Chain A
Amino acid sequence: MRRHGLADLPDALGLNGHACWGFDEVGDLSTAAAAFLSEGSELGQRLMFVGGPEAEAMVRETDPMRTLVRDGTLQVTPFEAVYPGGRRMANADQLSMYAGATDQAVADGFTGLRVLAEVTALVSPHGEWQDQVAWESYADRYMAHRPLAALCCFDRQRLPVEAMAALGCAHPVADRRLQPMAPFRIYALPDAVALAGEVDALSASRLSDLLELTIPDTEGKVVLDLAGLEFIDHSGVRVVARHGRRMRERGSQLTLRGESVMFRRLSDLLGAET
């Protein structure tokens, strides 16, 4: 089982950890980054940083990151080097880059790869958070079964509130300060996509957006695991049912598993049309 939920610190994530973190000033990030990287060292993962100039400066100047950079443990890759001109790569290309680096880390004797990423610039200034959400979820499918861990950090001051919320919802672990905007999470299990946390009338439309971005209706057969769902109201049940219907219409199939007695009850009460 992958760790999931809201967290005070992105620690204890495991080899497959994937967390979303927000910051107001880049200096705020150092505690989270330190916790994330030191777990990686303990687990024997290769450490890598990708991010903008301000975050890079923070990493180079703040301990323990500074020491890790100096002794060559933490490899620093400027944002521009990975994303020339701030351009987003196609998801498949971006993933093959990270998958290649993960394989290389394993080949070099590491247990895997751990990436500290500050990629606000991929989302801002154009505000293409939907693409980033789709990417996070796409990468998460890979991470669920390969030893790649990532801490994805975003400057909250430069992103619209809904972007930050949606990004938080698209990671198995999210910064607790994103609550109540990100009360649920959609993330990958080795054999399924999980929906966990809480969904109510205030978050149902966000769930609808997130399902569309993370489980495209052309994806084919997908199992949605609801075992980690702590609460869902009828508007949330309707959203899940609607997405299943949309997928069916496109020749795909969404199968639910692990749903609670109450989920089934609400589903039955609302009827086939829900």
Chain B
Amino acid sequence: MSLPLLAASAEHGYTAPDQSIFWQPLIGSGAFAITRPAIVFALSAVLIIALLLAGTKKLAIVPGKKQMVVEAAYGFVRNTLARDIIGSKDFRKFVPLLFTFFTVILVNNLFGVIPPIQYPTMSRIAFPLALTIFLYATYHFVGIRRKGLGGYLGGLVPPGLPKLIVPLVWALEFLSVMVIQPVTITLRLFGNMFAGHLILVLFISGAEYMFIDGGLGLKIIGVPTIIMAFVLTLFELFVEFLQAYVYTMLAATFIASALADEH
């Protein structure tokens, strides 16, 4: 990826990477091109299915290594996220959805730093948006099914407010549930992956330029730059885990608040 970037920059000095580095069609062009993230996403689906099947093929009471990893991931999503947030009465139905979110986002995010792939799929906004459409449909559907349309919309306002400000609070809560929640959860995942990947490309391609095209001074500055690239890669790894956790936690929170009896 940095090779064409460097070839272009060799004559005109260094050009910093911008959002155009994320558009990488492999087959075809235009809106229906098969792009690099699409292939990475398909790869992630195959990988997750293979890992889960391998981990659950020979189930034993004393788990082997693979089974232990799968059980740890599943137990984390089921107990720490679903049960503690949604509540022990309703959480069971939502565990598959939340576990899917967690594994898909985690594997796709980790692809952002795994060397031969190095493309965080979620840095194209279509991918987090597609996940959020599922979440959006789910939490409205379960909320309306539990309380009825009137009860769901009326339940947005906490009881016991003065009559005068009820319409205002209702409008704010309605806006929050309909627009702000899905937009923020999508943009958060997208923005973190996008910005993180951009920073990594900036530091690595910058260091490459300094080493290859720079004079002696730039070569010396290139050393801390490449160290910083390494440190930021570790930081990205942390952010990738955190974002998978955060997305799943927020998804559980939205479902919990749609199901809650009183606000």
A associates with B: no
Please list the residues of chain B having a beta carbon within 8 angstroms of any beta carbon in chain A. Answer: none
